[in-house]
Amino acid sequence: MTSDDTTIQPVDGPTIAVAHDYLTQRGGAERVALAIARTFPGAALHTSLYDPSATFPEFDSIDVRTMPVNRWGLLRRHHRLALPFLARAVSGHHVDADVLVASSSGWAHGIPTSGRKIVYCHAPARWLYQADRYAGDPGSRGLRSRAVSAATSILGPGLRRWDQAAAASADRYLVNSRVVQAAVRDVYGIDAEVLPPPPAPFDRSAVPEAVPGIERPFVLCVARLLPYKNVDVVIEAVAAVPDIDLVVVGTGPDHARLETLARAVGGTHLLGRVSDARLRWLYENSSGLVAASYEDFGLSPLEAASFGKATIALRDGGYLDTVEEGVNGVFFDRVDRDAVSAAVELAISADWDAERIRAHADTFSEERFSNRLRQIVSEEIGRG
């Protein structure tokens, strides 16, 4: 359910509100926003853009409150095109609450509030501080990536000033990993607490749904189809490993290029978006997960670990927090075909202890995440 009304209905005790940049895709940040919303039942969730068909259906049961910019259907369908308009939209969306918990990768931390503001930062805005990585190689950029590049070139200085002020408006900053902790310190001069997010919950009582057409052993790659996710390298690397296929789950602007590459090398299934029932089947029946992107937090290895599956991961970024070599995965040190292929071969030939892998995932439980977040909110209420 959605509304443009930013007034929170009075309840007994302190009022808590939640915010997220935009709800227009299915990714790790959106799953974390759901975990935050579950931590504070009944709290309104404020966001700039909301496309129910493009994000997780669980948001349907939450009181989602949007900004006027949401009225533009084109922007709901292509949120990157909204970049020039979001700073003004966010700055004009005042939330009346005792505590606002903002899940942010660059926008929600700028929402003004009458109470205390706690920011859960997934990463400082990539389009401002990692623009080349965010947009990808100039020769392979689509229209939207070129639009992002042009917008950041023109609007970058002003947006960086806005972003710095938005970060400074927070009373408490939390981050999802040590690499983001270092980035927040470098970009904003803020010392933030690391609070790892939980892996995605799966309904263990639901019957997994088999995916037709997948007959050979396979490794899984779950990623948005964006240049910095390095799915192209994964496709080429797995194609070079005998007797195993690759299944890619995810959507994004890089789809057409990756589809052409997949047809050329063979052995790759690009499934796009899948239901949780099918994703569960894929995890349960995979020979492991390949994670080659530059991630601020390595969420997908925890999803795989909850099914007792190991991860073949880039030794970089957030994967250093969630993959323990020899326990729930192996690392490769370079994003190139040969390095990834060698790591895949090593992982699929290893004898993994599924129970030990699941125990590793349990240390990142949603209960632990929610308990610490509630404690932090209580501390901020006491300071208000």
Each residue's pLDDT, cut to its tens digit, for the chain (384 residues) gives 655 544 344 446 799 999 999 999 988 899 999 999 999 999 999 999 999 999 999 999 999 999 999 999 888 988 888 888 999 999 999 999 999 999 999 999 999 999 999 999 999 998 888 765 545 544 444 545 555 666 667 788 899 999 999 999 999 999 999 999 999 999 999 999 999 999 877 666 678 999 999 999 999 999 999 998 999 999 999 999 999 999 999 999 999 999 999 999 999 999 999 988 999 999 999 999 999 998 888 889 999 999 999 999 999 999 999 999 999 999 999 999 999 999 999 999 999 999 999 999 999 999 999 999 999 999 999 997
Output the pLDDT for position 98. 98
- pLDDT tens-place string over residues 125-150: 988 887 655 455 444 445 455 556 66
One-letter-per-residue 3-state SS of 276-293: HHHHHHHHHHCCCEEECC
CB 177 within 8 A of CB 321: yes
The pLDDT assigned to 249 comes to 97
CA distance 153 to 226: 20
Alpha-carbon dihedral of residues 274, 277, 280, 282, nearest 10 degrees? -50
Q: In sequence order, what are the residues at sequence separation of 6 or more whose Cβ sits closer than 8 angstroms to the Cβ of residue 53? A: none
The phi and psi torsions of 19 (rounded to 5 degrees) equal: -140, 155
Amino acid at 204: R
The reported pLDDT for the residue numbered 41 is 97
Residues forming beta bridges with residue 330, ordered by sequence position: 312
Adjacent-strand bridge partners of 219: 246
Distance, in Å, from the CA atom of 298 to the CA atom of 151, rounded to the nearest integer, reads: 29
Query: How confident is the model over 283-294, as pLDDT tens digits?
Result: 999 999 999 998
Domain 218-362 classified CATH 3.40.50.2000?
yes
**375 burial level (CB within 10 Å; 0-12, 13-18, 19+):** exposed
| Ranges in the chain annotated CATH 3.40.50.2000 | 2-198+365-383, 218-362
> Hey, what are 55's tokens?
């994000």
> What pLDDT score does 361 carry?
93
What's the pLDDT at 107?
A: 96
Class of domain 2-198+365-383: alpha beta
